[in-house]
Structure 1
């Protein structure tokens, strides 16, 4: 899978830099051409000569050390790469990437790269969980940068926790899986995929509303995955915590009624619809035109049921392939199977949002996919982008038969 691929490996200044030697060796043995760019700090941990000897390629570290007057090294390297892998990726390089800083050979090259980028973060556990680092990682993920989550264990600083760079074998497996995915046929080419995301907003008055904790991240991950498989994607998004993926058709809505109308507008010529949005089950019976003033110790708010979009679609579907989501806080399998049958879905994706790392607002998820015969696949805790790819892979194969 790696034969003939050009991989640009960025090595930054952390103790995990020593693992770059094994990483270069393994990638090279599998047939990849590996070009290494080291930061000045990385050279405090491992030498250029080591990585040059293993890669059989010149190692770069100085932006201004141009040995060939007919070319600009960082542009040539950026243009040649099939994949850019930064391992280890320190908090420093992550911050530079997120904020567009280019002050050395590696960060300058990263700004010129158009190839996919993959990071293997490595740092102290407190650094990894710092809000600034989390924000930077979130920004990069939204731009399509892939993450190889660090492992947990004894760190060089003496702490035990998350922040240890994954082992070279695991990183190589992730790289191979990436190229395997790239080699796949665009299984959804020519298909229209509609995805709902986020949480709906039901107004009480001009300043108050009923909503839920959905961030939209899972729906956005599904939209990115569908686009990568060649689909024509329409994303119908309610309230979200993050901006939608660029270069996709996005329809913004607010309430359950708004979402229903938007979905109906896309439903007739839709091939696959994935309803990942968290739609309110109830709305206020009346919406006040002005702010409701505080009065008395109690306030009674009458709620009425909203339209069940998924059930309505299930009753009316003809050739469409319909996928629902079931976010539960216990007995997820039981409720998911019941929901799939009642609402006539083709697949249902269930997760227990009470489980650590699988709830709203986080970048990871643990889901199980069901059809009418029961469990199709149970996925371990992984990034929402990885979970989305697996869900879309299942859906593409199932829908291909349904839509023929």
Structure 2
């Protein structure tokens, strides 16, 4: 069996030396990958530049991911080849398109002009006290996965901050239906600290709780294999 796991975070370049990224470490993706590798399954790990990685293995292929575009390109290539996709990567919602001096923006008669501009220098000048950065919304990669392989078992992730369980489950089920996922792992940032990582594997029928990263990996591993075997027997 082949499993594709995304892990860590993306980095969207502003210029050759600056970028927008996030604090994702890839530690959960690493643990999940190790579960499948230990059981003899082949794992394709699409990992952000600073993501924690499993030890080398004949059953592991690691591909370094830079930005959302490179993630999408590799998903399109590898998702058709696998049985399970676990999309745990923290993907940037926006990409920079243009950065400029605040004065240039303040004196402009048409802000729309900046949406079609690009920075030509490899390193944007830092002389100005204030800069304005224009961002463009990225496509949601999870929404494309079932297009690349309609038969793949898909586990998506949803991270919120300081919400009720009712809202957490509601948002997870919206993502479940919208993206045609089989499961969404829903968690709240306020429940992740000091070795604790409380979250819920949500599907059409209910929610299953896990309390640590190790329990999350076990839950996802066991649930996806059971589903795969059920579909094969069906």
C-alpha contact 2:4 2:45 (8 A) present in aligned 1: yes
Partner of 1:37: none
Whole-angstrom CA distance in 1 between matches of 2:124 and 2:174: 39
Which of 188, 194, 206 pairs up with 1:374?
206
Q: Alpha-carbon deviation of 1:356?
A: 4.2
Q: Secondary structure of the residue that 2:56 maps to in structure 1? A: coil
Within a 5 Å distance, the mapping from 1:116-131 to structure 2 comes to: none
Partner of 1:206: 16
Whole-angstrom CA distance in 1 between matches of 2:3 and 2:20: 29
Partner of 2:106: none
C-alpha contact 1:215 1:239 (8 A) present in aligned 2: no
| Number of aligned residue pairs | 207
C-alpha contact 2:155 2:183 (8 A) present in aligned 1: yes
Whole-angstrom CA distance in 1 between matches of 2:215 and 2:201: 14
TM, length-normalised to structure 2: 0.82
Which of 72, 93, 96 pairs up with 1:281?
93
Flag the 1:225–1:374 CA change in 2: closer, same or farther, 3 A: same
Q: Alpha-carbon deviation of 1:316?
A: 4.2
Q: Larger C-alpha radius of gyration, 1 or 2? A: 1
Within a 5 Å distance, the mapping from 1:316-327 to structure 2 comes to: 316-327=148-159
Q: Alpha-carbon deviation of 1:196?
A: 0.5
Whole-angstrom CA distance in 2 between matches of 1:228 and 1:373: 29
Q: Alpha-carbon deviation of 1:348?
A: 0.6
Partner of 1:293: 125
> Are 1:400 and 2:229 matched, yes or no?
yes
Q: Alpha-carbon deviation of 1:355?
A: 2.2
Whole-angstrom CA distance in 2 between matches of 1:197 and 1:403: 28
Whole-angstrom CA distance in 2 between matches of 1:295 and 1:334: 47
Partner of 1:345: 181
Q: Alpha-carbon deviation of 1:205?
A: 0.9
Runs of 4 or more, structure 1, over 6 Å off, are none
Whole-angstrom CA distance in 2 between matches of 1:201 and 1:333: 29
Q: Secondary structure of the residue that 2:155 maps to in structure 1? A: strand
Aligned CA-pair RMSD: 1.8
Which of 80, 84, 87 pairs up with 1:268?
80
Partner of 2:40: 230
Q: Secondary structure of the residue that 2:201 maps to in structure 1? A: strand
Structure 2 unaligned runs (5+)? 99-117
Flag the 1:227–1:307 CA change in 2: closer, same or farther, 3 A: same
Within a 5 Å distance, the mapping from 1:22-41 to structure 2 comes to: none
Within a 5 Å distance, the mapping from 1:20-99 to structure 2 comes to: none
Structure 1 unaligned runs (5+)? 1-190
Q: Secondary structure of the residue that 2:133 maps to in structure 1? A: coil
C-alpha contact 1:226 1:392 (8 A) present in aligned 2: yes
Whole-angstrom CA distance in 2 between matches of 1:243 and 1:312: 25
Partner of 1:216: 26
Q: Secondary structure of the residue that 1:332 maps to in structure 2? A: helix
C-alpha contact 1:202 1:283 (8 A) present in aligned 2: yes
Q: Alpha-carbon deviation of 1:403?
A: 4.3
Whole-angstrom CA distance in 2 between matches of 1:322 and 1:398: 11
Partner of 1:187: none
C-alpha contact 1:319 1:402 (8 A) present in aligned 2: no
Whole-angstrom CA distance in 2 between matches of 1:261 and 1:316: 11
Q: Alpha-carbon deviation of 1:263?
A: 1.4
Partner of 1:186: none
Q: Alpha-carbon deviation of 1:244?
A: 3.4
Q: Alpha-carbon deviation of 1:226?
A: 1.2
Per-residue CA distance 1:348-370 (angstroms, 9 max, x = gap): 1111112242xxxx754211001
> Are 1:333 and 2:169 matched, yes or no?
yes
